[in-house]
């Protein structure tokens, strides 16, 4: 008998648990949305540094790839090549 009473007493709590969670999510939605917007609009110094390093690494890889291709083509021509004047990392595209 006691188990039935406990089950009946716990039933409203279990039934409204989802409602309380939904109400909480609805109430905190504006705060979370503003926080997400501010996070997207601002860039920390660390994020800026990481982006710069990625760009520099990408440029260096491009230069290395182009130099390697140039040297391979030069070897195929038996060394009859002018000095390399292609892409150089850290300089603006010409």
Q: Could you report the per-residue pLDDT of 11-48, keeping only the tens digit for each? A: 666 666 667 778 788 888 888 888 888 888 888 899 99
pTM of the model as a whole: 0.50
Residue for token pair 């291709």: 69
Model confidence band, residue 62 (pLDDT cutoffs 50, 70, 90): very high
Whether 13 and 31 map to the same domain: the answer is yes
- 50 and 74 assigned to the same domain: yes
Statement to judge: residues 35 and 59 lie in one domain: no
Q: Could you give the number of structural domains in the chain?
A: 2
Is residue 45 classed as helix, strand or coil in its secondary structure? Answer: helix
**Is 8 found in the same domain as 28?**
yes
Contact 74, 81 (CB under 8 A): yes
Confidence of residue 87 (pLDDT cuts 50, 70, 90): confident
Asked, for residue 93, whether it belongs to a domain, the answer is no
| 28 and 1 assigned to the same domain | yes
Quickly tell me which residue has 């595209």 as its tokens: 93
| CA 35 centroid distance within chain | 17
For residue 68, is it within any domain?
A: yes
Can you give the residue range of the structural domain that contains 16? 1-42
71: CB partners within 8 A, 6+ apart: 84
């Amino acid at each position: 008998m006691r188990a039935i009473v406990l089950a009946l007493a716990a039933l409203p709590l279990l039934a409204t648990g989802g409602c309380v969670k939904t109400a909480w999510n609805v109430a905190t939605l504006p705060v979370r949305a503003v926080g997400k917007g501010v996070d997207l609009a601002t860039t920390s110094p660390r994020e800026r540094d990481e982006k710069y390093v990625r760009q520099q690494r990408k440029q260096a890889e491009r230069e290395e790839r182009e130099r390697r291709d140039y040297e391979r083509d030069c070897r195929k021509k038996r060394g009859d090549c002018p000095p390399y004047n292609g892409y150089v990392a850290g300089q603006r595209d010409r």
